[in-house]
């Protein structure tokens, strides 16, 4: 183990980790990035809602540009997965990367989330393969007037369907063989919004180019779609910090204060892994705040204490709920 600990170890080099790297490098901090190579941003065919790119930008292109910018200031990003993170008696950390032990004074966790894949017959990894969309906030605008299928269960599935209602009136919510588990009130909202509910198992799937184009149910009924979304949610990649006793929310996301500080001293978090809106711009903003707070902490200017508000939630589900309450019955599209 080298003698001098890093100022910071940035775990993850998606939009959050790379933004933090650019900031920390320009703050002349001694840090390293480590990345497992599975950024969600790499799955974006083209993003039209990321500001500054009026013609849209491919996720991989954005990551490449950010990596070039970080490297321009001498940033080292090592490929690999941090498998273990321990706290030392003096409050610093030691991370394990392969056989290497990396001592560091602070850590920025920017590890993102993993999307839950729908179980479609003979179509494994449909989200990873780009056959199914995942984020109405990201690309709902592009499906204006389309025939939409939403794979989802329970209230969160309905929330996504209601969220998409401002773009189209042709929406079918499919639970793939499990009961939809909606309350009477939720079923009423679905009916008022003209959302078709389907609880039957899917027997087969048709793919047309880069999209799922129809789902054939066990009864033989065929539902044709222009676009299919998944509303099954995601799992936070926060298992590294669970043993540290860091506070996580009920979805496993790291709870932070307004300076991106977790409840573990010296451990900061930014991006999708944090309880917030899963968007590139949010990941970048949180990373800028975290990097600045880390720099200030290391130069002896601790941020003022702020309460960590466990009740605050910016999850899409929460936003959907607010939005659906105002939408139902308005025949938006
Ligand atoms: C299909 C799709 C389309 C999207 N479209 C848009 C859009 O149009 N606009 C928009 O704003 N957002 C969009 N998003 C969301 C956007 O991709 C995410 O919000 C963004 O990538 C989050 O950045 P992040 O850095 O927090 O996480 P990620 O980009 O997921 O990066 C996390 C990185 O951490 C690494 N990592 C994880 N664990 C470890 C470990 N233990 N050790 C080392 N490395 C680790 C991973 O390998 C990964 O590279 C889309 C997402 C998807 C899936």
pLDDT tens column, 64-116? 999 999 999 999 999 999 999 999 999 999 999 999 999 999 999 999 999 99
Which whole-number Å values give the CA distances from 8 to 19, 24, 106, 112, 290, in the listed order? 14, 9, 5, 18, 11
Q: How far apart are CA 75 and CA 82, in angstroms?
A: 18
Could you tell me if the CB of 66 is within 6 A of ligand 1? no
pLDDT for position 276: 83
Residue with tokens 């990649």: 237
Q: Atom of ligand 1 at shortest distance to CA of 280?
A: 11
Beta bridge partners of 227: 148
Q: Where are the beta strands (DSSP E) in the chain?
A: 6-11, 31-35, 77-79, 82-87, 93-97, 100-109, 113-115, 147-151, 170-174, 196-198, 202-208, 211-217, 222-224, 227-230, 234-236, 267-269
Q: Atom of ligand 1 at shortest distance to CA of 115?
A: 53
Q: Which of left, alpha, beta for 311 (phi over 0: left; psi -120 to 50: alpha)?
A: alpha
Nearest CA to ligand 1 atom 42: 81
Query: Which residues make Cβ contacts (< 8 Å) with residue 325, sequence separation at least 6?
Result: none
Residue with tokens 């001694």: 30
DSSP label of 133: B
Q: How far apart are CA 108 and CA 27, in angstroms?
A: 15
Q: How far apart are CA 171 and CA 212, in angstroms?
A: 15
Could you tell me if the CB of 38 is within 6 A of ligand 1? yes
Beta bridge partners of 235: 114
pLDDT for position 326: 37
Q: CA gyration radius for the chain?
A: 21
Q: How far, in Å, from the CA of 16 to the mean position of ligand 1?
A: 8
pLDDT for position 312: 43
Q: Atom of ligand 1 at shortest distance to CA of 59?
A: 17
Q: Which of left, alpha, beta for 141 (phi over 0: left; psi -120 to 50: alpha)?
A: alpha
**Both tokens of residue 118?**
């729908």
Antiparallel, parallel or unpaired: β 113-115 and 222-224: unpaired
Could you tell me if the CB of 237 is within 6 A of ligand 1? yes
pLDDT for position 275: 84
Q: Is the dihedral of CA 190, 194, 199, 205 positive or negative?
A: negative
Could you tell me if the CB of 164 is within 6 A of ligand 1? no
Could you tell me if the CB of 138 is within 6 A of ligand 1? yes
pLDDT for position 286: 98
Q: How far, in Å, from the CA of 112 to the mean position of ligand 1?
A: 5
Could you tell me if the CB of 256 is within 6 A of ligand 1? no
Buried b (16+ CB within 10 A) or exposed e, 129-155: eebbbbbbebbbeebeebbbbbbbbbb
pLDDT for position 322: 42
Q: How far apart are CA 21 and CA 29, in angstroms?
A: 9
Nearest CA to ligand 1 atom 7: 138
pLDDT for position 127: 87
Reduce the DSSP state of residue 313 to 3 states and report it.
coil
pLDDT for position 316: 44
Which residues of the chain are under the pLDDT cut of 70? 1-3, 302-304, 306-333
pLDDT for position 165: 96
How many residues appear in the chain?
A: 333
**Ligand 1 site-directed mutation target among 42, 44, 142, 277, most atoms within 8 Å of CB:** 44
CA atoms within 13 A on the CB side of 104: 30
């Amino acid at each position: 183990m080298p003698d001098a600990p890093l100022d910071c170890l940035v775990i993850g080099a998606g939009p959050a980790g790379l933004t933090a790297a650019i900031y920390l490098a320009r703050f002349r901090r001694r840090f390293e990035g480590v990345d497992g190579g599975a950024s969600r941003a790499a799955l974006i065919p083209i993003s039209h809602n990321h500001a500054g790119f009026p013609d849209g930008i491919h996720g991989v292109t954005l990551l490449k540009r950010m990596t070039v910018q970080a490297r321009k200031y001498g940033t080292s990003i090592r490929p690999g997965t941090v498998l273990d993170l321990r706290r030392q008696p003096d409050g610093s950390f030691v991370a394990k990367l392969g056989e290497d032990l990396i001592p560091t004074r602070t850590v920025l966790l920017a590890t993102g989330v993993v999307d839950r894949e729908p179980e479609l017959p003979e179509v494994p990894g449909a989200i990873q393969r780009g056959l199914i969309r995942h984020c109405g906030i990201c690309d709902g605008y592009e499906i204006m007037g389309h025939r939409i299928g939403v794979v989802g269960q329970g209230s969160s599935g309905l929330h996504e369907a209601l969220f998409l209602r401002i773009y189209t009136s042709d929406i079918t919510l499919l639970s793939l063989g499990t009961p939809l588990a909606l309350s009477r009130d939720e079923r009423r909202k679905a009916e008022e919004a003209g959302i078709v509910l389907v609880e039957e198992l899917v027997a087969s799937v048709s793919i047309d180019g880069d999209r799922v184009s129809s789902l054939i149910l066990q009864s033989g009924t065929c539902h044709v779609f222009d676009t299919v979304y998944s509303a099954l949610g995601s799992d936070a990649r926060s298992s590294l910090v669970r043993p540290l006793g860091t506070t996580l929310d009920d979805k496993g996301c790291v709870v932070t204060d307004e300076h991106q500080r977790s409840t573990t001293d010296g451990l900061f978090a930014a991006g999708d892994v944090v309880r917030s809106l899963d968007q590139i711009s949010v990941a970048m903003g949180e990373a800028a705040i975290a990097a600045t707070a880390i720099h200030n902490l290391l130069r002896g200017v601790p941020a003022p204490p702020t309460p960590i508000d466990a009740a605050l939630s910016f999850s899409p589900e929460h936003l959907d709920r607010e939005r659906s309450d105002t939408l139902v019955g308005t025949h938006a599209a």
